[in-house]
Structure 1
């Protein structure tokens, strides 16, 4: 009798674990499918007619997520061209995303230019500061990288990435 109760408990635990795993798999499939449909719809729309800045930005962002960096940069550049003059604040996000696309393609000078464009508009944009510093690091411009991480920490003292990287650079430069 005791063995059969262990078996029932074991099967119950196994069934619960399988149910949880199934939930997460189905959820991931649903999210992926939704992203693919959105991507397809946007690509179809902008190929048939001129898109707006938001559509180009969304399309570029989805392509960044899929690691299609060259395609993403094309759409992000279109987003910048289509962005109305009164939406300068939104261009910060596009410049940062475009910088990331260039960074991922190891085009560090272009990435640095885009991050600096974002920072001209919003000097305390911590994400662009961290990205700019990382680009400097990849170009072996360690003093500029440290200075940029310190600017990031001035804007957000609890920034774990900037804290960790700045400390590492201080040790390397000492």
Structure 2
């Protein structure tokens, strides 16, 4: 365990097993050939790579660089699209993959943007779903884990760009934040 981790919340084996379960659910309820997967960078990269390998359909993978935390531990409340070019989604089924559903602001902004571009249907898949009040009407369509409202790192999640490479999800020590 890394010295900046207070405790491991979800270990590697639990992640693997749960991703297998979520992938089966996505396949049964939503996946189709021609699916467009939109990965929200940078946090969802690890999760999305593992999920995409579990979905045996023809897909296009796109990435959107989105920011709402701006290096802090709480969302700024402002969702910023850092990419100028949006993915081609007209008349396609789109699955957004993100690391964590927190306030819902980012997911709502991305969903609305993709629908405005003519996506036929947009659903989302998240590694972590925080149990908390959302800022808007946004819930996880597919989720691996529900967690309490605490600051987590690892498996793609970061603090100031660090800890993404940890193979588990851990709670960061409060003194280090």
TM-score (norm 1): 0.24
Q: In terms of Rg, which structure is larger?
A: 1
Task: Name which structure has the greater RCO, CA cutoff 8 Å, separation 6+.
Answer: 2
Higher strand proportion: 2
TM-score (norm 2): 0.24
Higher helix proportion: 1
